[in-house]
Amino acid sequence: MVALLIKNFIRSKGLLVGLAILFISGIISLNIGKQFLEKNEKIIQKTSHFQKENIDRYVQYMNKEMGLLLYYVRFGLVNETPNIVGLSIGQRDINPSLHNVTIRNLEEQKYTTDLMNPMYQLIGNMDLSFVIIYFFPLIIIAFGFNLVSEEKEEGTWSLVLSQTANTQKMLRLKAGVRYVSILSVLFLLLLIAKFYLSIPFDIYFTVYILTAFFYISFWFSLVWLVVSFHKNSSQNALILLTSWITLTIIVPALMNALVIQLYPIPEAFSTVLDSRDGYHSQWDKAKEPTIEKFHQLYPQLVKYNHPKDKDFSWLWYYAMQQMGDETAVASSKKLKEKIKQRENLSKKLGLWVPTIHTQLTMNTLCFSDITNYLAFIEALERFHEQKRMYFYPKIFSDTPVSSEKWDTFSLAYFKNQPVINLYMVLLPYLIISTLCLLWANINFNRKKYNL
Amino acid sequence: MKKRTIQIVAKQVWVHTLKNKSSFWLISFFNILLCFALISGYYHHYNQQKTVKAYSHDVRERWESNPDKHPHRMAHYGYVVFREKFPLSFFDFGMDSYVGNVVFLEAHKQNTINFSEASLSNGLLRFGEISVGMILQLLLPLLVFFWGFGLITEERQHGTLRILLTQGVSWQELIIGKAVGLFYLSLTTYLPCFLLAFVFLLLDASTYHNVEIIGRFLILIISYLSYFFILSLLAVYVSSRSKSSKTSLVSLIGFWLFFALILPKVSQVAGKNLFISPSKIEFDTAIEQELIEQGDSHNPNDPHFKKIKDSLLKAYHVDSTHKLPFNYGGYIMREGERLSAETYQKHQIKLIQVYQKQQNLIRLTAPLNPLIAIKNISMALSGTDYIAYNNFQNQVETYRYHLAQTMNELQMKYISNRVKNSADKNARIEKKHWEEFPDFKAEFLPLRAVFMNEIISFLSLISWIIGFWLLIKYSGKHLKAF
């Protein structure tokens, strides 16, 4: 019977077209991922080159004072983009994967955005995750909505009943052929992805494969459940398409509206004002309190002081800059917290919505979620601090510019290693899919001989 | 075509569909969803506006309360501008969540507009946002298709089609009548929401500052009505050409998938490859290179600025810049600001052109794709499209330039050439000058400009209606009664 079912499957043109659509869109999506990676790589190479040029130029022209030189010189930190990002671009097209900062106050620099066409951000990237989350379920629905009803509507159901002792087994085989065919396309695409994007076979890629597998299995369970009610083809199609729209469009959009309403972020506005006033108002104030605060922050720098008779010193200048960051500390921290709260809430609520759960999980696995960006920003803060701590003593003691080996300041890299909780990733699928299958089983047993 | 026949056919569609219990639930569902989207959109918009107003007020107060100081310090203290949303933006969010909201304006430097909603959000946002526009553009077509796919095929399958045709109803009357009925049905889902939106507009104070908003809203409504009329015609036409209800439904859903999901993404990929846009680092470096070639206004020995100095000394018959009748540093910085702003503007215009080309590629699919046409129109009229944002960008840069140059001119006028540096007591000017500098006030684009920018999309909707009209008029003989 299996052989016959397979033969029947291959003979039906519609089904093969469905698989071809999945395969082709999958290949296009991999190409989009590849282009994204290449563009990113190009940006990093160019920046590395520009940074070197920039340092060389300023060292040549601004070599009298260390303080003045470091007003200009920029240091780049790259948020490493592993090739797996190509599978799920996530927020990487919104938040920059590279920041170039001077040692002046960081608040005015760290929120700089990249240049992107907002229309493209609105449309979103057709990466492999998109194909898996949106297109695969549609084809699964097309393959399965009339699993039973087509036999009934074409009059072959009574034949099935009379010729097989176990109709459920026959239906299971019929569904199985479709399940295996769709999974084959998925695994083929993932295999191609592995080599085309040269993705290392590590924990992230493995879990990505598992997530995709479980997500697709969930849709099959759902189709199986709907089919088990023995309704006619158009009712099944309607129910399944409505589920698809609900899961891919309506619920995520409603949840997003909820998350934004629950956690508005006016801190994004106040950080800007705080850091600006924190720094610029210092020009009009007495120098002593500023320097005193600076000394409190960095006791190791107490030995450097502002010369009493001077209107200006680099110590005072950088202390003022530092005050910009210090004043904004509270709101900047709150800003980050709010973003984390948004992410946590959506992750929690999303656990029970397979589409959202899959998208958020894939973004995490592909280093492209907002948590990854926040980690990058925190790394940038440490990087900036470290650069300042390195240069402050040299600036304040007026070390000659020529004493520094400037060619050693190349781009720095940051790599975030997200922790993956396999249970949290896979359990929701298992629970939801099992519930669907159990319910379907009850229906099938009740309606065993239903014509 | 007899008007009376069309009315009877239309009424039959209306009665037949409403008899079905599921219609009641579907209509209620969409009404609730649309009103929820409208109210939450308006609420969000209202809060956002309140925040923007409060912070803008704060910025102004802080600006005015600065003590007497050197104007160049004020130029660096700068201004912070928060993007105000267009009063209709609650209707269709468009690109609003993807464009920046806060910008710090200072001398010599064009900072990016930061903190878009997207930069503060996670992957959830990328599923799309729930706004009235989104529901009307993306979800309601499916309901229209669902109600419409069987309108002719069912008559054919039940054999009633032959009876209708023999009774003297023409194909044209039948299709138009069914489409009109379907269109009336669709009204039940969104008309209440439109009325509510109108009430919101009337309650909003900003409507009275800008009467054009009412005009925009009316055009928006008319566009959506034409859009749904096109969809109704499409559904009935596809139904008339399909052998069975199943093929009719599959074609309509295929149409939706292709035009709503696939075509925009494909045109995006094509646009990205055809028109390469620079990254921030390339953009900045290109400007920096050009500025270096022009000279550095902070460096007194720079050859470009030395030439200016020499010609100034000659023109005023003096031997030192100290003796010039205005502050020399201010003059040089004014010149530097002019050069750097011009250079920036040149590159910015080029960048915008690339973006426009990329977007035009999508816009050009509008004649084929009514979903894109209405999306563009809706965003444009709601003030959430790219030109609305670009208009804001331009105003912000103009304001920044004006601020920097005003401070440079104050320096030229009031600061003596003999002061040592900006810390000098004599290098301060009175704070009344800060109050004299006007606050930033965003102006929205006039309706005419918005309309002209989306002319292709408007023409596309009109041509779809005319196209269907012709198609239905001349297609009667190809259609089969059984």
Number of folded domains in chain B? 1
**pLDDT at residue B300 in the model:** 62
> Residue B120: which of A43, A257, A268 has the nearest Cβ?
A268
* Nearest one of A198, A242, A205 to A222, comparing CA atoms: A242
Q: Do B77 and A276 touch (CB under 8 A)?
A: yes
Binned at pLDDT 50, 70 and 90, residue A168 comes out as confident
Q: Is the pLDDT of residue A149 over 90?
A: no
pLDDT score at B299:
65
Question: For residues A382 and A271, what is the distance between their CA atoms, to the nearest angstrom?
Answer: 19
pLDDT at position A263: 93
Task: Tell if the CB–CB gap between A124 and B130 is shorter than 8 Å.
Answer: no
Q: Is the pLDDT of residue B49 over 50?
A: yes
Higher pLDDT, B228 or B267: B228
pLDDT at B270: 86
Q: A379: closest CA among A79, A53, A5, A143?
A: A79
Write phi, then psi, for A388 (nearest 5 degrees). -65, -45
Dig out the tokens for A134 from the structure.
């949106």
| Mean pLDDT of chain B, nearest integer | 90
CA atoms within 13 A on the CB side of A137: 26
Average pLDDT, chain A: 90
Q: Residue A91 — pLDDT band, cuts 50, 70, 90? A: very high
Mean pLDDT calculated for residue range B353-377: 90
| Structure tokens given for A195 | 């080599």
Nearest by CB to residue B55, choosing from A32, A273, A369, is A273
Give tens-digit pLDDT for B97-116.
999 999 999 998 899 999 99
B296 three-class SS: coil
Confidence of residue B476 (pLDDT cuts 50, 70, 90): low
> Each residue of B20-30: pLDDT tens digit?
888 899 999 99
Distance from CA of A165 to the nearest CA of B (A): 32
What are the DSSP calls for A239-265, one per residue?
HHHHHHHIIIIIHHHHHHHHHHHHS--
Task: Report the distance separating Cα B209 and Cα B125, nearest Å.
Answer: 33
Greatest mean pLDDT range, B211-215, B265-269, B404-408: B404-408
* Contact status, residue A89 vs residue A125, Cβ threshold 8 Å: yes
C-alpha span between B17 and B290 (Å, rounded): 67
Is residue A358 a contact partner of residue A129, using CB atoms and an 8 Å limit? yes
Chain B residue with minimal CA distance to A346? Answer: B124
Q: How far is CA A227 from the centre of its chain?
A: 35
B111–A contact, CB cutoff 8 A: yes
Rounded to two decimals, the ipTM of the complex is: 0.90
Q: Is residue A304 pLDDT above 70, yes or no?
A: yes
Q: Give which of A120, A262, A321, A351 to mutate to test B binding, by max B Cβ within 10 Å.
A: A120
Tell me how far apart the alpha carbons of residues A264 and A342 are, in angstroms, rounded to a whole number.
Answer: 9
Partner-chain residue, chosen from B112, B121, B139, that has the shortest CB–CB distance to A245: B139
Q: What is the mean pLDDT of residues A135-159?
A: 84
Answer for the pair A119, B386: CB distance below 8 angstroms, yes or no. yes
Q: Do B355 and A119 touch (CB under 8 A)?
A: yes
Which residue does chain B place closest to A339, by CA atoms?
Answer: B120
Q: Is residue B362 pLDDT above 90, yes or no? A: no
Query: B443-447: long-range contacts (C-beta < 8 A, 24 or more apart)?
Result: B443/B391, B443/B395, B444/B86, B444/B210, B444/B383, B444/B388, B444/B391, B445/B383, B445/B387, B445/B388, B445/B391, B446/B212, B447/B212, B447/B215, B447/B216, B447/B219
Give the closest-approach CA distance of A370 to chain B in angstroms. 5
Query: Looking at residue A361, what is its pLDDT?
Result: 96
Chain A closest-CA separation from residue B317 CA (Å): 32
pLDDT band with cut points at 50, 70 and 90 for residue A448: low
Contact A106, B374 (CB under 8 A): no
Contact call for residues B101 and B116 (beta carbons, < 8 A): yes
Q: What's at B262, amino acid-wise?
A: I
Chain B CA closest to residue A359: B123
Q: What percent of chain A has pLDDT over 70?
A: 99
pLDDT in tens, A28-72: 999 999 999 999 999 999 999 999 988 998 888 888 889 999 999
Residues of chain A in contact with residue B396, where contact means CB-CB under 8 angstroms, are none
- pLDDT score, position B344: 94
Span B119-171, pLDDT tens digits: 999 889 989 899 999 999 999 999 999 999 989 998 888 888 888 888 888 88
Residues ≥6 apart with Cβ < 8 Å to A106? A325, A380, A381, A384
pLDDT tens-digit map of A188-229? 999 999 999 999 999 999 999 999 999 999 999 999 999 999
pLDDT digits (tens, 9 = 90+) for B297-316: 666 677 787 888 888 888 88
Q: Kindly tell me if the per-residue pLDDT of A282 is higher than 90.
A: no
Instruction: Tell me the count of A-B CB pairs closer than 8 A.
Output: 216
Alpha helices in B20-151 (DSSP H): 21-64, 71-77, 132-134, 140-148
> Which neighbouring-strand residues pair with A412?
A77
What mean pLDDT do residues B285-295 have?
A: 84
Domain interval for residue B232: 3-478
Which pair of structure tokens corresponds to residue B300? 């007194």
CA distance A33 to chain B (A): 11
B380-393 confidence digits (pLDDT tens)? 999 999 999 999 99
Q: Which residues contact B28 (CB under 8 A, 6 or more apart)?
A: none
Q: What residues in A contact B148, CB-CB < 8 Å?
A: none
pLDDT tens, residue by residue, B448-471 = 999 999 999 999 999 999 999 898
CB contact under 8 A, B386 and A119: yes
Compare all CA atoms of chain A with the CA of B49 and give the residue at the minimum distance: A266
Average pLDDT over residues B170-190: 93
Of B80, B124, B292, the CB nearest to A276: B80
Task: Tell me what pLDDT residue A451 has.
Answer: 46
Instruction: Check pLDDT > 70 for residue B477.
Output: no
Range name among B86-90, B183-187, B416-420 with the lowest pLDDT average: B416-420
Tell which B residues from 156 to 185 touch A, by Cβ distance under 8 Å.
none
Is B82 an interface residue toward A (CB < 8 Å)?
yes
Strand partners for A100: A76
| B117 vs A contacts (CB less than 8 Å) | 260
In this prediction, residue B243 has a pLDDT band, given cuts at 50, 70 and 90, of confident
Q: What confidence score (pLDDT) does residue B435 get?
A: 93
- Would you state the pLDDT for residue B89? 93
Chain segment A235-245, per-residue pLDDT in tens: 888 899 899 99
What 3-state class would DSSP assign to A90? Answer: helix
Residues 6+ apart with CB under 8 A from B123: A90, A91, A346, A359, A360, A363, A369, A370
Task: Please list the residues that pair with A413 across neighbouring strands.
Answer: A78
Q: Residue B37 and residue B49: Cα distance in Å, rounded? A: 18
Q: In chain A, which residue's Cα lies nearest the Cα of B244? A: A234
- What does residue B107 show for φ and ψ, rounded to 5 degrees? -65, 155
Give the Cα separation of A426 and A362 in Å (integer).
12
pLDDT at B465: 93
Helices (H) and strands (E) in chain B, counts: 20, 3
- The runs of H, that is alpha helices, within B321-446 are 328-363, 370-381, 386-414, 432-436
Tell me the chain B residues in contact with residue A95 when contact means C-beta distances shorter than 8 Å.
119
Contact of B194 with B221, CB cutoff 8 Å: yes
Residue A412 corresponds to which tokens in the numbers above?
A: 């720095």
Task: Please give, rounded to a whole number of angstroms, the shortest distance from the CA of B352 to a CA of chain A.
Answer: 9
User: Which tokens belong to A274?
Assistant: 């705080």
Query: Is the alpha carbon torsion for A249, A255, A258, A260 positive or negative?
Result: negative
**B contact test, residue of A15, A39, A72, A117 with most B CBs within 10 A:** A117
User: Domains of chain A: which residue ranges?
Assistant: 2-253+363-446
